[in-house]
Structure 1
Amino acid sequence: MKLYGRSHDRQSLARHAGDLSAAGGVRSVVLDDGSERGIRTLEFRTGGGLSAARPVRHRRSAAPR
C-alpha cells in the first residue's frame, strides 16, 4: 500500500498504526430499511474519515453448455 508517498507492507503499516483498519477498508453491507431492503452494497472507508457506499451488481453467469 502506498501511503504519504511511501510504500508499506502489512507489517510496517501495523507498526505505525497498530490497527490496520485505521488506514481504511471495505466491508460488505446488506441494507435493511424501506425500499432499499435486501440491496447489497460495499462500503469503502478511508483513514481520513471519508466513506462511500456502492451497490454490488451481480453478473449473470452463462448457461452451462
Structure 2
Amino acid sequence: MSEERIIELEIKQAYQEDLIQALNRVVADQQKQIGKLEETCKLLNDKIKSLAMAERNPMSAIDERPPHY
C-alpha cells in the first residue's frame, strides 16, 4: 500500500470514530427520553385508572357521613 492510501484510510477511520461517538451520545439521550416518557405514561395510566374507578362509584363520596357527625 502506498503512503497516501494509508493516510486516507486513517483519516476515514478517525471520521468514523467521531461519528460513532456522536451516534452513541444521541442513543444515550434518546434512551433517557424514553425512560422519562415511559414514567409519564405509567403515571397517566394510573391516573386514568383511578378516575375510571371513581366514576364507577360516584355515590360512594355522597353516601359518606360528613366528618362533623
Q: Check whether TM > 0.5.
A: no
TM-score bracket, shorter-length normalisation: under 0.3
TM-score by length of 1: 0.23
The normalised TM-score by structure 2 is: 0.23
Task: Give the greater-gyration-radius structure (CA).
Answer: 2
Q: Which has the higher helix share?
A: 2
Structure with bigger strand share is: 1
**Which structure carries more relative contact order (alpha carbon 8 Å, separation 6+)?**
1
